[in-house]
């Protein structure tokens, strides 16, 4: 449709009170044109309807040594399209050092969830940019800034690495020197990565690589730099915003846990039912190489702990023959945690995949070459993440690699072993079908629950679980690693982790409980468990340990809020089922209370519980 018609349609939907319809139109428009021309309109209209959409709230500060104002609307529009209402604090031009070092600055009064430190080489090391010897204090200054920020704020910090000039000041002589400018800048960048590793919640945005990907000579606009101190050409503003979004998604918990992929003309070229095994295009040479490259990208996702699934309209026998036997297939049936190969509509298949994997539909990304199928999924399963594939299969892999929904800032052992967990789950399902009662099923699992205070080794995973667990999560509070560490160090706070093993697999660290003792009352701040172990009575064992610890701390009452969301219905009756009574109701939720002197929560007899009370 014409841009004018689209804008009128959005405004008419807003005027009619149809916020969801307006949001769908805005998201579709942004998907087709994610750039500066559309950003202002998309951000402004989302801003008018954000209150009706239940968007995730995020507060980000941007500290900079150069003009970034034109990037901010693009960043906000991309965030809105992902379901995030982004409030920004833009630091004063080139005043980043003062803001970071002053504990009373506007930066810290803003109380951001995250901050971006965007400093370029020509500003922080002008001599080095011109080809002069490297300034020895550059890295130490970064160390002071990062250290001060972490001292005064628990927010995440994203630091731009330094960029290399397109043309060195010394010309070709620069390459003849052992300590040339490019090498000196890269040495500082290596030091920045080491610095970031010394702190929790500090990350490096590889600005040098970003500029190189899009061409150093084309990245900037000399006229804009000299007139308004904007070092990024208009065409590249969306690329910088997209790089920021790659950090926003995992920090805000807006990530895909599974990618469900079509087969014909997506995972391979051609239609298996018509072209047969020998007719589909899939191999090391063009045109089949494009589809192999997509499969490599999907394998990379699986190594990040992202599950793979098949969602295809096809004859199952034909499809499985290709998946199992085609010599060009890099992915094998064992790589997929779930398969739906039939003639049902794909929205229905996606819902079935979500139920089988016990994850939310809103954590499944759908990959299909057919725009009609993608649109049907948007309309019939609007919660799902629909990835727009380009028309040319040569660009499929790039579209997947650039997608911010697949980004991760850390990988735990649980992430790396996720595929094995789901293979073990299939064995558990077979056990459940073979026994006559739930109790026999539980006993047959030989479950072991290891409950321990959070420590340096488990801190990252505990934070990750608070960020991404939605279904069995009583309050859905999100915490960074540094916030978790702060609570764990406080004398009246307890942060517990739950690790589960059974006869089929080590499920890893799958549960988190956070509680605070205040006199005779112990209040549960957070209680959550991974979807893959829900419904096996492990939640009872975990709560029993929490109650016992509360008694040991002198508490006579254990209480906790249930704050409902669109996703945590599985936890709705948790407190009632364990003997708690309603103490208070508000618009935000229900406060449940248990008298520890009168009632005791027991660990189920079929669970072996191992407790570690060391802090």
pTM of the predicted structure, to 2 decimals? 0.78
Q: Is 321 helix (H, G, I), strand (E, B) or coil?
A: helix
Tell whether the model's pLDDT for residue 133 goes beyond 70: no
Q: Could you tell me which residues come within 8 angstroms of residue 448 by beta carbon, excluding any fewer than 6 positions away?
A: 500, 501, 502, 607, 608, 609, 610
Torsion of CA 466, 528, 405, 457, to 10 degrees: 50
For the stretch 190-217, pLDDT in tens is 999 999 999 989 999 999 999 999 999 9
Q: Could you tell me which residues come within 8 angstroms of residue 2 by beta carbon, excluding any fewer than 6 positions away?
A: none
Question: Which helix (H) or strand (E) is 594 found in, with range?
Answer: strand 590-595
Asked if 360 contacts 354 with a C-beta cutoff of 8 angstroms, the reply is yes
Mean pLDDT over each residue of the chain, to the nearest integer:
92
Tell whether the model's pLDDT for residue 179 goes beyond 80: no
User: Which pair of structure tokens corresponds to residue 558?
Assistant: 């254990």
For the stretch 22-64, pLDDT in tens is 998 998 889 888 889 899 999 999 999 998 998 999 999 999 9
Tell whether the model's pLDDT for residue 146 goes beyond 70: yes
- Cα-based distances in Å from 515 to 37, 351, 524, 552: 48, 35, 4, 13
Torsion of CA 581, 519, 549, 599, to 10 degrees: -30
For the stretch 558-590, pLDDT in tens is 999 999 998 899 999 999 999 999 999 999 999
Asked if 584 contacts 591 with a C-beta cutoff of 8 angstroms, the reply is yes
pLDDT of residue 135: 61
Residue percentage of the chain with pLDDT more than 90: 75
pLDDT of residue 1: 42
For the stretch 364-385, pLDDT in tens is 999 999 998 999 999 899 999 9
Q: How large is the average pLDDT for residues 77-88?
A: 95
pLDDT of residue 77: 95
Task: Please tell me which residue, 532 or 444, carries the higher pLDDT value.
Answer: 444
pLDDT of residue 5: 77
For the stretch 321-369, pLDDT in tens is 999 999 999 999 989 999 999 999 999 999 999 998 888 999 999 999 9
Q: Please give the sequence-ordered ranges of beta strands (E in DSSP) within 447-492, or none if there are none.
A: 447-453, 472-473
């Amino acid at each position: 449709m014409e841009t004018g018609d689209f804008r009128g349609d959005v405004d008419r939907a807003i005027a009619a009170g149809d916020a969801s319809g307006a949001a769908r139109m805005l998201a579709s428009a942004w998907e087709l044109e994610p750039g500066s021309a559309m950003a202002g309109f998309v951000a402004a209209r989302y801003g008018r309807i954000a209150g009706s959409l239940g968007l995730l709230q995020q507060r980000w500060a941007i500290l900079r040594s150069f003009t970034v104002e034109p990037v901010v609307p693009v960043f906000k529009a991309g965030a809105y399209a992902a379901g995030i209402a982004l409030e920004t604090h833009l630091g004063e031009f080139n005043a980043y050092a003062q803001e970071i070092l002053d504990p009373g600055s506007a930066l810290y009064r803003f109380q951001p969830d995250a901050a971006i430190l965007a400093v370029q080489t020509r500003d922080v090391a002008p001599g080095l940019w011109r080809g002069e010897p490297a300034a020895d204090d550059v890295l130490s200054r970064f160390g002071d800034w990062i250290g001060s920020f972490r001292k005064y704020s628990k927010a995440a910090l994203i630091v731009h690495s330094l960029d290399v000039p397109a043309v060195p000041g010394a010309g070709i002589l620069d390459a003849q020197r052992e300590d040339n400018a490019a090498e000196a800048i890269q040495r500082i960048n290596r030091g920045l990565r080491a610095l970031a590793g010394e702190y929790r919640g500090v990350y490096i945005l590889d600005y040098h690589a970003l500029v190189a990907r899009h061409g150093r000579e084309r990245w900037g606009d000399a006229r804009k730099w000299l007139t308004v101190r904007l070092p990024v050409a208009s065409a590249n503003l969306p690329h910088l915003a997209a790089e920021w979004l790659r950090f926003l998604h995992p920090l805000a918990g807006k990530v895909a846990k599974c990618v469900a992929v079509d087969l014909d003309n997506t995972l391979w070229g051609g239609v298996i039912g018509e072209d047969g095994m020998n007719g589909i295009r899939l191999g090391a040479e063009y045109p089949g190489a494009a589809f192999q490259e997509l499969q490599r990208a999907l394998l990379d996702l699986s190594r990040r702990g992202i599950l793979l699934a098949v969602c295809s309209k096809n004859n199952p026998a034909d499809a499985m023959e290709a998946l199992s036997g085609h010599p060009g297939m890099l992915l094998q049936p064992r790589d997929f945690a779930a398969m739906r190969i039939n003639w049902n509509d794909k929205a229905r298949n996606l819902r079935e995949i979500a139920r089988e994997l016990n994850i939310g539909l809103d954590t499944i990304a759908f990959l299909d070459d057919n725009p009609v199928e993608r649109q049907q999924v948007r309309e019939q399963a609007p919660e799902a993440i629909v990835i727009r594939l380009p028309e040319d299969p040569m660009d499929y892999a790039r579209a997947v690699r650039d997608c911010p929904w697949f980004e991760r800032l850390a990988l735990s052992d649980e992430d790396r072993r996720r595929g094995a967990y789901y293979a073990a789950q299939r064995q558990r399902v077979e056990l459940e079908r073979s026994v006559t009662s739930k109790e026999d099923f539980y006993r047959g699992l030989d479950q072991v629950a290891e409950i321990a205070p959070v420590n340096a080794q488990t801190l990252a995973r505990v934070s990750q679980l608070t960020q991404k667990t939605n279904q069995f999560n009583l309050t859905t509070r999100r915490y960074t690693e540094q916030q978790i560490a702060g609570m764990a160090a406080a004398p009246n706070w307890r942060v517990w982790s739950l690790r589960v093993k059974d006869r089929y697999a080590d499920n890893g660290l799958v549960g988190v409980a956070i509680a605070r003792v205040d006199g005779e009352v112990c209040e549960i701040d957070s209680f959550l468990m991974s979807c893959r172990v829900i419904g096996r009575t492990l939640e009872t064992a975990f709560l029993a340990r929490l109650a016992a610890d509360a008694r040991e701390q002198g508490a006579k009452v254990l209480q906790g809020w249930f704050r409902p969301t669109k996703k945590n219905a599985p936890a709705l009756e948790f407190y009632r089922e364990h003997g708690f009574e309603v103490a208070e109701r508000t618009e935000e939720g229900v406060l449940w209370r248990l008298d520890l002197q009168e009632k005791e929560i027991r660990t189920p007899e079929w669970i072996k519980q191992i407790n570690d009370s060391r802090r």
